[in-house]
Amino acid sequence: MLLVPAIALAGAFDGLWRSNPTAECVYVDGDAGALKIEDDVLFGAESRCRMTQPVNVRDMDAVLYDMACDGEGSSWTDRAMFLSAADGGLYLIWNGYAFKYEQCAEDAALGTVATAGELGISDDLGVSGDAAPTEPAEDAAEN
């Protein structure tokens, strides 16, 4: 019997991935935008990495890649593991660091982000939801 290793599926992680619910679902080649993975290339903050030599991780929905990267005037190589999260997200494990991303919807409007109010988060002014901030009271000495 001949055993053949499973071949990693090309494009299994393709798409836009954002690091938090308020990050933009658009690749902008900077810190504020989403990661973009397309045709075995990871486009990150001011860098791009070719994802080569894919190896499926046994008994996990994960693939280990050799990464050949260029950005900010330098080139480097590394290894990274891409792991599908149970909630549909992506874990990117890279040389001692683990990053969690959520996939942007395929039909997400470019530039659309969730507001703090939509997420039920209060800002420093005590405003939550759709309430508009109040104007500061005028100083009585100025009247």
State pLDDT tens for residues 27-59: 666 666 789 999 999 998 889 999 999 999 999
Q: Are 117 and 111 in contact (CB under 8 A)?
A: no
* Residue scoring higher pLDDT (27 or 128): 27
The Cα–Cα gap between 45 and 32 comes to 8
Predicted TM-score (pTM) of the model is 0.66
Token pair, residue 96, equals 């001692």
Q: Are 101 and 35 in contact (CB under 8 A)?
A: yes
pLDDT of residue 105: 83
pLDDT of residue 121: 72
Given this structure, which CATH class describes domain 15-106? mainly beta
The Cα–Cα gap between 109 and 68 comes to 31
Is 87's pLDDT higher than 50?
A: yes
| 140: helix, strand or coil | helix
Across 35-39, 116-120, 125-129, the highest mean pLDDT is recorded for 35-39
